[in-house]
Structure 1
Amino acid sequence: MTGPADGGSAAGDGSGPGGGGYRVWALGGLPEVRGGDDLAKLIASVSPGLRDGDVLLVTSKIVSKAEGRVVAADDREEAIDAETVRVVARRGALRIVENRQGLVMAAAGVDASNTPAGTVLLLPVDPDASARAIRDGLRDTLGVDVGVVVTDTSGRPWRTGLTDVAIGAAGVRVLDDLRGGTDAYGNPLSATVVATADELAAAGDLVKGKANGLPVAVVRGLAHVVDGAGDDEGARALVRGAADDMFRLGTSEAVREAVTLRRTVREFTDEPVDPGAVRRAVAAAVTAPAPHHTTPWRFVLLESEASRVRLLDAMRDAWIADLRRDGKSEESVAKRVRRGDVLRNAPYLVVPCLVMDGSHHYGDARRDAAEREMFVVAAGAGVQNFLVALAGERLGSAWVSSTMFCRDVVREALGLPEDWDPMGAVAVGHAAAPPKERPARQAGRFIEVR
């Protein structure tokens, strides 16, 4: 295939959108871009034949250079640190992070190639604004209405190899939402949203290449993706929000994040709890370490309101009796009983229990006491696993110790065996509000080194 009249390389059959075809070519003749250069004027000078409906695909490197994003950095890692908002995954020296632009990519997009020694290239501060500036400049210079996509190279989860993706866009429909339509067989489309801007970026990468010195490509024949009104959301619309991101963290980071997310929640919404999520959390709980290869955990799931009310009413009566025996005033009794509302207001309760099956009996009080302590520690480890796993399921929880003060009452209310020791109760549900910030704990305060 021969190249287009204005130089560079080309792909596509050249037919218009009616025939389902398009043409894409890389622009040749662009000079080395330096800080302060007007990219729109440079592009116009080598491609004066741009038309309404064309889409320009501009490599982020030249945008960064024009915007002065070349910075001195003897240590690239320091530059990555400065651009990182959140570490997603780490393996050796490689880091996948969320950067200041909200993009998740290797090394925060910090590039040490195609830049002078001792410097690194940072991504544009606002790639969508950069795309708008180029688009407006081409309209002023050439009088054409084009779309602009700023692209960068990125890897993808579960897929080997790199491709270009859109990190900034202007005048382009970045997402094509097909939900509500039907396919060729009349089947309803309920989940199909096409990342049009990323598809354009990848098409441009085919002709720009990684080492050809051709940082800009043009797509012609897809005018239907150009938004002439200019009120597009930009490429930021392509970034999946945290609430919808099922794969937000790497493995070790997910564990640490889940531990951090494990916060005591005392107010819950009315949203039902998925019993499957609780069972998955129990599956994580029973992987905790335990003495003598035993399994000292039992989890009683109170999924019916009747079982929860029966337990909590029995516990309340026992607690009131204890408080009155302690000489507490009725006002004090009422105040203390209200503290149990976290359990009563939760839509789901779990009572973890300890069983001593497999424990050793030494006939020695000291060693028998230590044996029980080992099992209690194992029960605590199981509960911690359970709470962390609930946090990973985006469920809030509160571990309340009150069942330990009236174990006989709990066993009777729930019909449990005599050798099951309730180890508190866990309120489970969807948090009514984000947890309050808690002061950071410095690990060094809890460490002694010998």
Structure 2
Amino acid sequence: MTAAPSYEVRAVDGIPEVRPGDDLAKLITAAAPDLRDGDVLLVTSKIVSKAEGRIVRADSREAAIDAETVRVVARRGPLRIVENRQGLVMAAAGVDASNTAPGTVLLLPEDPDASAAAIRTGVRDTLSVDVGVVVTDTFGRPWRNGLTDVAIGSAGVRVLDDLRGAADAHGNPLSATVVATADELAAAGDLVKGKAAGLPVAVVRGLAHVLGEGASARDLVRAPADDMFRLGTSEAVREAVTQRRTVRAFTAEPVDPGAVRRAVAAAVTAPAPHHTTPWRFVLLESEASRVRLLDAMRDAWIADLRSDGKSEESIAMRVRRGDVLRAAPYLVVPCLVTDGAHHYGHARRDAAEREMFVVAMGAGVQNLLVALAGERLGSAWVSSTMFCRDVVREVLDLPSDWDPMGTVAVGHPAAAPPERPGRSPEDFVEVR
């Protein structure tokens, strides 16, 4: 009968206080001369940072966090989750003010994979054994309470075990199973190292099959395109609003009608006067309906321009501006309905009443555009239907009290829009 798999993990005792310039491989091998081929060393990043001189003077930890931050992921009060210079997403950029002299902080190793490789080479040179090395640090995790150690650097270890394409015990294919082996090793080591026991290194024995070449801890960091939770809640809201861009060129990829309906659901949460719901959205999902509307609008526009005395060349140039709508695989016509408006019989007050509804319509359209961006769809709001409302109502068979408020072109962006120049809020505010 085959023995059940097992392994052992133990802390390494006897490692002294580490100082800048110390050779970690020599310190570890002196404390653990019985290391064998196939063992895995789990080394706390704190001692790696100390040995590599990653101790810096800092008037405040916050200033050091600022210097190590590449991107803020989420902020809640003083707590910041950020992407740091090593590409790791973690609290406080990995800057540590514990177990270091007052007025100083510890930064993470500059290249944790290179640090792991140097320790591995040093152990091989000293003891003539081939071990794996994982540099660990303590992380919180999305969706889960508590902290655990994870791998931030690795050498000689298969950090990911890709089981996709294999089958489970029942013969079912595994389609999404990729095991974070290096993180599992790091967490196992933390059980014996502890957070305050002064035992910065652990050894795992009995798992020689996890050793392998060519992998690094960077392989554990999810690529931005695959990261569904790249931002915190408030950051995602701000990004959705500020990164919504007008897109005028689309691919031929069809638009998911369900995505548009989800955007409409967001649109109708906009504020509106008198507890009304003044928004209606006409979805032009067939090419025939889009062509019929755009042809009728074009003819009406040409007639208006000719009555203005514009030249045929000028008319042709202006009409071409509508090409963005013809190129879009999906159109939405937002319509304003004011059946809940109050009527005062007074010109100024009635004008203000309508303006309230128009503002609510604008808020609904903005919600729609932002939500479409959240669905990774590009959009462009074009005002042309507002200039020929009777034509639009007739072609689309709309009620007479529906006022078309432009057209939204929707599709998958053909290219990323250019960067938008920054604008200071101070240019747009007056404080009283």
Place the TM-score, normalised by the shorter chain, in its bin. over 0.9
The match for 2:23 is 38
User: Is 2:74 aligned against 1:92?
Assistant: no
The match for 1:170 is 155
Provide Cα deviations, 1:54-77, integer angstroms capped at 9, x if missing partner. Answer: 111111111111111111112111
User: Is 2:246 aligned against 1:231?
Assistant: no
TM-score w.r.t. the length of structure 1 is 0.93
Query: Within 5 A, what are the aligned runs for 1:44-63?
Result: 44-63=29-48
**Aligned amino acid, residue 328 of structure 1:** K
Provide Cα deviations, 1:404-436, integer angstroms capped at 9, x if missing partner. Answer: 111111112211111111111111111111110
| Residue of structure 2 aligned with 1:353, choices 316, 335, 354 | 335
Provide Cα deviations, 1:300-356, integer angstroms capped at 9, x if missing partner. Answer: 111112211111121122222222222222222222222212111111111111110
Provide Cα deviations, 1:270-327, integer angstroms capped at 9, x if missing partner. Answer: 2222222211111111111111111111111111122111111211222222222222
**Aligned amino acid, residue 175 of structure 1:** L
Q: Distance in 1 between matches of 2:166 and 2:367?
A: 44
User: Is 2:391 aligned against 1:415?
Assistant: no
User: Is 2:248 aligned against 1:266?
Assistant: yes
Count of equivalent residues: 431
User: Is 2:295 aligned against 1:310?
Assistant: no
User: Is 2:324 aligned against 1:342?
Assistant: yes
The match for 1:427 is 409
| Residue of structure 1 aligned with 2:134, choices 149, 153, 160 | 149
Provide Cα deviations, 1:135-169, integer angstroms capped at 9, x if missing partner. Answer: 22222222222111111101111111110011111
TM-score w.r.t. the length of structure 2 is 0.97
* SS in structure 1 at match of 2:203: strand
**Aligned amino acid, residue 65 of structure 1:** K
1:388 shift after superposition:
1.1
Q: Distance in 1 between matches of 2:340 and 2:209?
A: 71
More deviation in 89-98 or 21-30?
A: 89-98
The match for 2:424 is 442
Q: Distance in 2 between matches of 1:385 and 1:189?
A: 40
| Residue of structure 2 aligned with 1:64, choices 28, 31, 49 | 49
Provide Cα deviations, 1:165-204, integer angstroms capped at 9, x if missing partner. Answer: 1111111111111111111000111111111111011000
Q: Distance in 1 between matches of 2:194 and 2:116?
A: 20
CA RMSD of aligned residues (A): 1.3
Taking a change above 3 Å as real, the CA distance of residues 18 and 221 of structure 1, as seen in their structure-2 partners, is: farther
Provide Cα deviations, 1:239-266, integer angstroms capped at 9, x if missing partner. Answer: 1122212222221111001112201111
Unaligned runs of 5+ in 2: none
1:18 shift after superposition:
6.6
**Aligned amino acid, residue 167 of structure 1:** I
Q: Distance in 2 between matches of 1:146 and 1:154?
A: 25
More deviation in 139-148 or 282-291?
A: 139-148
Q: Distance in 2 between matches of 1:97 and 1:65?
A: 22
Q: Distance in 2 between matches of 1:252 and 1:31?
A: 45
The match for 1:179 is 164
* SS in structure 2 at match of 1:19: coil
Taking a change above 3 Å as real, the CA distance of residues 73 and 404 of structure 1, as seen in their structure-2 partners, is: same
Query: Within 5 A, what are the aligned runs for 1:151-300?
Result: 151-227=136-212, 230-232=213-215, 234-300=216-282
Unaligned runs of 5+ in 1: 1-16
